[in-house]
């Protein structure tokens, strides 16, 4: 077994970072633990803390078999600290320190910058749990309810991952940051989460699926960029988080896909030729495609804001420092320093969006965002398949990147409310949000999944609600 594959599963905190031999960090984490459990009980899934949920738990970091499935009460979930195995002789792949051995300790000059990166990433993890805490009550099936809770416990584990790095490498300041991560609350007027999209409500299941498709995918891009980090413990942490993150986007993509599939099927059965005949479609108890498009517009635009400003010195500094790379930096073929390169960025010139070449270092946020948009396209294409197959001319599509923006060049540029969900849309979606808790049954507005979790059959009871 390569170094670091062994997971110590005996203590309070499963880990492969040698906590048993690291009394200082173990004590710090054990001190933080009760506050975390209080947070989970207060702000985690509401009404299901005693339920038995068929969850996967990470028990190894071997890519061939890292999880085991079983019934768990969520507050008893084994949230562990797991890093991907160390890569022998790893070197820094970009920036001013390119080619030097990867850091195993925090370089003093970059301490503040690194701490900030960890805190911003860490803050998003509990935020999404808070945003999604009411959704269990309206789950369209036990299968979907289980997937929601799976995402939630793993976001909890991602918080642990960042807190471990803060506790291990940042002393007193790290401990304070770890406390603050439990103190802020999504949407709170006095003490909100750090980033805008993580203070928005996730009021219904279409929002949940859009969020996991679009916003968890921003998470993936950030983790990919941090997985390139010259600070090796961060790189290893993010590489393991990415294995879990893939499932979150699967939940989003297949969730929206199943909604589209059901809508199209119901329209065909009813002989509806015009998918924009919203009244008739809604009367079938399914979500019309134009409403799905407006929800898509909202979640895409909110998520684009997470990539920050078009031109950013922070992004340039983090790259130069070797702390945050580009998407799949190690697969790119250039000098990995970018001192003399340019990158095309959309700017606002005389009231019009135009593409402009700017120094590549200052455009790293946009480069990551462009990679993100490309990554989104694949899923949109798959959502359109059943629409296409049924012969409807309608296609779901990404809105322009200039639409409904709050951050950057295009803030306030184009905010046509007709392309965003209306009060009427929300009221209609809300009217569909009635729980279905009989094993193997699904709400009227969503198709059954193609396969079950962990190879389980259709009627499997993924959540035993009453424990
Ligand atoms: Fe996460
Ligand atoms: Fe996630």
Nearest listed ligand to the Cα of residue 212? 2
Summarize pLDDT for 99-126 with one digit per residue, the tens. 999 999 999 999 999 999 999 999 999 9
Nearest listed ligand to the Cα of residue 122? 1
Give the pLDDT band (50/70/90) at residue 9: confident
Q: Write down the pLDDT at residue 456.
A: 96
Report the separation in Å between the CA atom of 265 and the middle of ligand 1, taken as the mean of its atom positions: 34
- Position 355 pLDDT exceeds 90: yes
Report the separation in Å between the CA atom of 317 and the middle of ligand 2, taken as the mean of its atom positions: 26
Global pTM value: 0.97
Give, in degrees to the nearest 5, the angle at Cα 91 between 334 and 216: 75
Report the separation in Å between the CA atom of 48 and the middle of ligand 1, taken as the mean of its atom positions: 21
Confirm if 338 and 319 have CB atoms less than 8 A apart.
Answer: yes
Summarize pLDDT for 193-249 with one digit per residue, the tens. 999 999 999 999 999 999 999 999 999 999 999 999 999 999 999 999 999 999 999
Report the separation in Å between the CA atom of 211 and the middle of ligand 2, taken as the mean of its atom positions: 9
Residues 128, 131, 133, 137: is their CA dihedral positive or negative? negative
Give, in degrees to the nearest 5, the angle at Cα 271 between 138 and 259: 25
Query: 148: buried, middle or exposed (CB in 10 Å: 19+, 13-18, 0-12)?
Result: buried
Report the separation in Å between the CA atom of 450 and the middle of ligand 2, taken as the mean of its atom positions: 22
Report the separation in Å between the CA atom of 208 and the middle of ligand 1, taken as the mean of its atom positions: 14
Report the separation in Å between the CA atom of 359 and the middle of ligand 2, taken as the mean of its atom positions: 32
When pLDDT is averaged across residues 353-369 and rounded to a whole number, the result is 97
- By the CB criterion, residues less than 5 angstroms from ion ligand 1 are 125, 155, 158
Residue 19's CB is within 10 A of a number of other CB atoms, namely 22
State how far the Cα of 14 lies from the Cα of 146, in Å rounded to an integer: 22
State how far the Cα of 139 lies from the Cα of 66, in Å rounded to an integer: 28
Nearest listed ligand to the Cα of residue 121? 1
Beta bridge partners of 54: 71
Report the separation in Å between the CA atom of 294 and the middle of ligand 2, taken as the mean of its atom positions: 23
Cα 13 from chain centre: 23
The fraction of the chain above a pLDDT of 70, given in percent, is: 99
Report the separation in Å between the CA atom of 214 and the middle of ligand 2, taken as the mean of its atom positions: 10
Q: Write down the pLDDT at residue 445.
A: 98
Report the separation in Å between the CA atom of 221 and the middle of ligand 1, taken as the mean of its atom positions: 11
Report the separation in Å between the CA atom of 29 and the middle of ligand 1, taken as the mean of its atom positions: 19
Q: Write down the pLDDT at residue 3.
A: 52
Nearest listed ligand to the Cα of residue 248? 2
- Position 467 pLDDT exceeds 90: no
Summarize pLDDT for 439-453 with one digit per residue, the tens. 999 999 999 999 999
Report the separation in Å between the CA atom of 354 and the middle of ligand 1, taken as the mean of its atom positions: 34
Nearest listed ligand to the Cα of residue 249? 2
Nearest listed ligand to the Cα of residue 217? 2
Summarize pLDDT for 49-96 with one digit per residue, the tens. 999 999 999 888 887 778 899 999 999 999 999 999 999 999 999 999
State how far the Cα of 395 lies from the Cα of 381, in Å rounded to an integer: 9
Nearest listed ligand to the Cα of residue 211? 2
- Position 2 pLDDT exceeds 80: no
When pLDDT is averaged across residues 331-360 and rounded to a whole number, the result is 96
């Amino acid at each position: 077994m390569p170094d670091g594959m062994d997971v110590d599963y005996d203590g309070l905190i499963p880990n492969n970072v040698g906590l048993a031999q690291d009394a200082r960090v173990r004590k710090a984490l054990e001190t933080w633990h009760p506050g975390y459990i209080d947070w989970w009980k207060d702000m985690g899934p509401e009404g299901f803390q005693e339920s038995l949920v068929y969850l996967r738990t990470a028990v190894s970091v071997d890519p061939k078999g890292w999880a085991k499935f079983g019934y768990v009460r969520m507050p008893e979930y084994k949230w562990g600290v797991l890093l991907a195995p160390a890569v022998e002789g790893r070197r820094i792949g970009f920036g001013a320190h390119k080619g030097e051995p990867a850091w195993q300790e925090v370089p003093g000059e970059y301490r503040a910058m690194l701490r900030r990166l960890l805190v911003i990433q860490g803050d998003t993890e509990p935020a999404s749990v808070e945003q999604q805490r009411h959704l269990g009550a309206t789950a369209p099936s036990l299968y979907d309810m289980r997937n929601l809770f799976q995402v939630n416990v793993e976001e909890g584990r991602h918080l642990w991952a960042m807190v471990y790095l803060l506790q291990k490498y940042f002393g007193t300041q790290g401990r304070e940051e770890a406390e603050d991560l439990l103190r802020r609350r999504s949407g709170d007027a006095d003490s909100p989460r750090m980033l805008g999209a993580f203070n928005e409500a996730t009021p219904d299941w279409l929002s949940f699926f859009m969020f996991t498709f679009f916003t968890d995918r921003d998470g993936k891009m950030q983790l990919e960029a941090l997985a390139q980090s010259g600070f090796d413990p961060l790189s290893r942490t993010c590489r393991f988080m990415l294995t879990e993150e893939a499932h979150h986007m699967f939940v989003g993509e297949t969730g929206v896909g199943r909604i589209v599939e059901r809508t199209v099927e119901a329209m065909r059965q009813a002989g509806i030729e015009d998918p924009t005949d919203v009244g008739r479609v809604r009367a079938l108890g399914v979500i019309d495609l134009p409403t799905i498009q407006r929800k898509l517009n909202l979640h895409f635009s909110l998520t684009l804001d997470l990539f920050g400003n078009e031109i950013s010195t922070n992004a340039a500094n983090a790259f130069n420092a070797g702390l945050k790379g580009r998407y799949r930096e190690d697969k790119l073929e250039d000098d990995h320093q970018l001192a003399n390169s340019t990158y095309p960025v959309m700017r606002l010139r005389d009231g019009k969006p135009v593409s402009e070449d700017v120094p590549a270092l200052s455009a790293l946020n946009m480069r990551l965002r462009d990679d993100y948009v490309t990554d989104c396209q694949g899923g949109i294409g798959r959502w359109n398949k059943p629409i296409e197959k049924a012969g409807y001319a309608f296609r779901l599509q990404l809105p322009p990147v200039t639409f409904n923006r709050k951050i950057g060049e295009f803030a306030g540029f184009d905010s046509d409310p007709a392309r965003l969900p209306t009060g009427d849309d929300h009221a209609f979606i809300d009217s569909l949000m009635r729980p279905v808790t009989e094993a193997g049954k699904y709400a009227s507005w969503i198709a059954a999944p193609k396969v079950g979790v962990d190879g389980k059959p259709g009627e499997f009871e993924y959540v035993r609600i009453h424990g």
